[in-house]
Structure 1
Amino acid sequence: MKRRIKTSVYFVFAFVIFLTSIGFSPLQVAAADLDLKAESAILIDGETGQILFAKNADIKLPPASMTKMMTEYLTMEAIKNETITWETETGISNYAYRISGDSSSSGIGLRQDKQYTVKDLYEAMAINSDNAASIALAELIAGSEGEFVKMMNQKAEELGMKEYEFVNTTGLSNSDLGEDHPAGTDPNADNLLSARAAALLAYHLVNDYPESLEYSSQLTDELDGRTTQNWNWMLPWNNDNFAQYYYEGIDGLKTGHTDAAGYTFTGTAERDGRRLISVVMKTDSIGARFEQTKKLMDYGFNQFSKQELYPAGYQIEDESTLNVSKGKEDTVEVESKNAITATVKNGEEEAYSVNYRLNEDLLDEDGNLIAPVEKGQVVGTMELIYTGSKANGYITGDGQKQSVDLVATTAVEKSNWFMLALGAIGDFFGNIFTSVKDTVVGWFS
């Protein structure tokens, strides 16, 4: 037996050497081996928000034009709320016009002798990262950039972002804006975001307004007779200069660069129904931000898979029924309404369990369901529990767990008043009997 095991070990060792000699690159790359050349980074599952990788994800850094993701979100929200429409028109203020004329900061030269639609400005902002378009949208929606900045910070709080500070809509330093810096903000301040906060913002943008990807995935934008290009070189360009950065499935989201921020990128890609969102901050070149994003995406797509861990109709062993009080039956059968699907790291398929969390409003003081119970009634949730050694949590909160509704499979009618009364009488005399018995036993003990 020992000889057989030793022979197998030699065979596996030789097989690995053979694969290495022919240039095979194994997919099993541990997170610790990513060697990510970014000061801060994070990778999350785009559907569940599960964090797959994090490096210094909570430090606040200048996000540069990734700031515009919040401007995009609030623009989409204003359209949803019918405050504006895609066809609403607005002019360009002197402030926005001055910024638009600066080609060193993504200025494309908006004109003051015409009206621009919200769609025009949104495309210029999302595709070419035009700063003046961001300012013009903010002024349209809130009346001034200063008021819009208040909306940005309020929305960040609503979304659960923790490490953030918005001082303008563009991602420029306020010092670059001079006397036009938004009212109520420090004239020398920078926007600040952690990688975690940027990923959470991107998560909400992609899930709340998936149409945003229709714009972030466009290669070029046409405005005022000029063609401008998307700064995302991972898109499918027919360009030899960008070919090395192409990544299958990439369709967003936002690049950024300032001297203080370095080169940043919030990317998102979808393959085979799985979406990942990544953030890299403070890389040292235009190309590096895409190279480091590729490392993260490869790690996520190669090391994790979307799996159905528990099917619809699942029942925990020995917990398939719950006790019922005041009903014609004493118990009711329960099961999960839907399947639980999760993004699972290779080799950790068994590192999960589930438990029930019942709706306390439906329980009596003893923890029993109170009749009547309807068939299909939601009585609580079935939660997914990770039992492995490395839990990174979820982008939407450390305490979040994936869960599905727990439902009753049958109905339990409430017992009539006569039977309830008999039960109460029985309980009354039962308690008296128990009390008398205990007293008598006490006399002779």
Structure 2
Amino acid sequence: MKNTRFSFALKAIFLSVLLCFGLATSSALAQDFDATAEHAIAVEASTGKILYEKDANTPDGIASITKLLTIYLVYKDIKEGKLSWNTKVDISDYAYDLTTDSLASNVPMEKRQYTVKELVNASLVASANSAAIALAEKVGGSESKFVDMMSAQLKEWGITDASLVNSSGLNNSMLGDNIYPGSSSDAENMMSAKDVAIVARHLILDFPEVLDITSQSTSDFDGVTMTSSNLMLKYMTSYRDGVDGLKTGTTDLAGACFVGTTEENGMRIITVILNADNGDTDSTARFTATNNLMNYIYTTYTVQTVLEKGQSYKNSTVEVLDGKKPDVSAVAKDTFKVITPRTTASTALTFDLKKETPTAPVTKGQTVATLTYKDKSLVGSGYLDGEPSVQMVAKNDVKRSFFLKVWWNHFVRYVNEKL
């Protein structure tokens, strides 16, 4: 009898150890990916969900990734009618002189005047510093005023830890007397990986047509063939199907950096690699790091459709005051999708339905509630700008009731609330 109890105890201990080991292994597996870079982050574009991060909140050099913000402000001016793609832009002596320095520019500017379209292409495809500076001077009146505009835009997006000194991403040591007032002679633009992800997300969501430019392996600039430094594009050495952007950056301070974006399996992600390991000796290091990060994301996460457009959530209805009908069905204004770990079943997802109490008349399509996804699988701060939600709208019209009934309803509510 004692031997039986002893054997049972041993088995229980063994099973407990095995269970603990299994749990530890499961936890380790969830954290076993390590991006080969000093700083990294991956986010899903439509929701802003953070899918991976590594020291993503520490500001560091970003080099020519700066141009994503520069070009965002150009697109913004075009949208507001202040510029057009055909607007002519003069090349100042400051911008032109950089074209004589092979370390600072790789596109000649001999005509001294080009269109906005030509300069945007040169900035994004060839990472032409003179093109970015010329655009900054056109939009801001001077590069220093444009830098102030850049900083203001970042603050509008909630970014307060960045430090910007120019529109190109070059080290100040290459700009002579043209550096931002009060900045040091060797200063560079500094942002965190998360900051960069926010900028990139705004660019491709607000101006998705930018991907038509960043997806080009080569492009023509005044008879000169420009070749992209993004080796993950088609026909390039680190090609990955689906990648259509976004921007490289390299300086001694920043190291080898790359912001990538790809859409695969119905999910667009943005990846940021700052100072890739061995980037100083391996020209493909930042792309290898990006490819591995993308592989990790797509094997770990998936898209789940919660509601199709026009579909209700658990047959939800919303009370309508003073209507001929007491309530109205609430349906999704748009298709609602969320990003989850592949191991998460749809039945495990939780949501918060916040209802309004509209007063009749209610028109079809009027917002009557908001459905928010309560995500339990968060990385870091979870989302770049809050959990995803969808507006729920009235499925049908609800007309206002007969005035005597409305009067009676108001009287009853008054009595119930005040007396």
Given the two structures, how large is their TM-score scaled by the length of structure 1?
0.79
**Counterpart residue type for residue 136 of structure 1:** A
Q: Structure 2 length normalisation: TM-score? A: 0.84
Alignment match, 1:76? 75
Runs of 4+ in 1 over 6 A off after TM superposition: 424-432
1:21-420 superposed matches below 5 A: 30=29, 32-111=31-110, 113-183=111-181, 185-237=183-235, 242=237, 245-283=238-276, 284-285=278-279, 286-317=283-314, 320-350=316-346, 351-359=348-356, 363=357, 369-388=358-377, 392-395=381-384, 397=385, 400-420=386-406
User: Cα 1:394–1:425, aligned 2, differ >3 Å: closer, same or farther?
Assistant: closer
Change (3 A) 1:418 1:59: same
Larger radius of gyration: 1
Return the alpha-carbon distance in structure 1 between the equivalents of residues 89 and 341 of structure 2: 49
**Alpha-carbon spacing, 1:329–1:127, altered in 2? closer, same or farther (3 Å):** closer
Partner of 1:21: none
- Report if the CA contact (8 A) 2:51-2:379 is conserved: no
Cα deviation for residue 254 of structure 1 reads: 0.6
SS at match of 2:130: helix
Amino acid at match of 2:392: L
Flag the 1:377–1:229 CA change in 2: closer, same or farther, 3 A. Answer: closer
Q: Which runs of 5+ in 1 are unaligned?
A: 1-28, 364-368, 436-445
Name structure 2 gaps, 5 residues minimum: 1-27
- For 1:277, the aligned partner's letter is I
Q: State the Cα RMSD in Å.
A: 2.7
Q: CA deviation at 1:208?
A: 1.2
Question: Are residues 413 and 223 of structure 1, via their aligned partners in 2, closer, same or farther at CA, if it must alter by over 3 Å?
Answer: closer
Deviation at 1:64, TM superposition (A): 0.5
Report the Cα offset of residue 258 of structure 1. 0.6
Q: Distance in 2 between matches of 1:379 and 1:406?
A: 6
Aligned-residue offset at 1:81: 2.1
Amino acid in the other structure paired with 1:143: G
The one-letter code sitting in structure 2 at the alignment partner of 1:407 is: V
* Whole-angstrom distance in 1 between the partners of 2:128 and 2:253: 19
**Is the CA contact 2:132–2:168 (under 8 Å) kept in the aligned structure 1?**
yes
Q: CA deviation at 1:415?
A: 3.7
Deviations 1:3-41 (A, max 9, x none): xxxxxxxxxxxxxxxxxxxxxxxxxx9552222111111
> Would you say the 8 A contact 1:149–1:166 is kept in 2?
yes
Percent identity at matched positions? 36
Distance 1:382 1:70 in 2: 32
1:348–1:388 CA contact under 8 A, matched in 2: no
Is contact 1:53-1:392 (8 Å) kept? no
Q: CA deviation at 1:184?
A: 5.3
Contact kept in structure 2, 1:34 and 1:295, CA below 8 Å? no
Q: Which SS does the other structure have where 2:340 is aligned?
A: strand
Shift of 1:430: 8.7
* AA of the residue aligned to 2:355: L
Superposition deviation, residue 352 in structure 1: 1.5
Point out the more displaced range, 58-67 or 375-384. Answer: 375-384
* Cα distance in structure 1, aligned partners of 2:156 and 2:416: 54
Q: Structure 1 residues 403, 115: CA separation in 2 closer, same or farther (over 3 Å shift)?
A: same
Q: CA deviation at 1:272?
A: 4.3
Q: Is contact 1:101-1:108 (8 Å) kept?
A: no
| Distance (whole Å) between structure 1 residues aligned to residue 202 and residue 351 of structure 2 | 27
State which drifts further: 319-328 or 199-208. 319-328
Name the residue aligned to 1:440: none
The aligned amino acid for 2:229 is: W
Q: How many residue pairs align between the two structures? A: 387
Answer yes or no: is the 8 Å Cα contact 1:142–1:148 preserved in 2. Answer: yes
